[in-house]
Amino acid sequence: ALLAAGRVRSLALAPSKDGGTNAMLVPPGVTFRPAYGPGSLAAHRRRSRALGLGIVEVQRPGLAFDVDTEADLLSVRGAGWVNAHNLSF
């Protein structure tokens, strides 16, 4: 879905649950400076509008998880995205 959204002259974004950006696809030939940390999704929206790009947000449960901490990892595991066969810690 993210790749399909990026085929048009739009910035394709996959928002995280906490207002960040977990995945982004920039159209070919566009120079785009990514933002990091809290509020990155809002920053990407502003930058996209400033460049005259459309915005396509791809909402997928698996892309909404931002895994930065052990608690995040446990949350992903609890959601069933990973299990004992493909994750050990």
Residue 81 lies in a domain: no
Q: How many domains does the chain have?
A: 1
Residue 13 lies in a domain: yes
Residue 86 lies in a domain: no
pLDDT in tens, the chain (89 residues): 666 655 667 899 999 888 899 999 998 889 999 999 889 999 999 999 999 999 999 888 777 777 778 887 787 777 666 666 655 55
| pTM reported for the whole predicted model | 0.72
Residue 33 lies in a domain: yes
Residue 70 lies in a domain: no
- Where on the phi/psi map is residue 80: left (φ > 0), alpha (ψ -120 to 50), or beta? left
Residue 83 lies in a domain: no
Residue 40 lies in a domain: yes
Range of the domain at 55: 2-60
Host H or E run for residue 10:
strand 10-15
Give residues with Cβ within 8 angstroms of 57, minimum separation 6: 12, 13, 14, 15
Residue 53 lies in a domain: yes
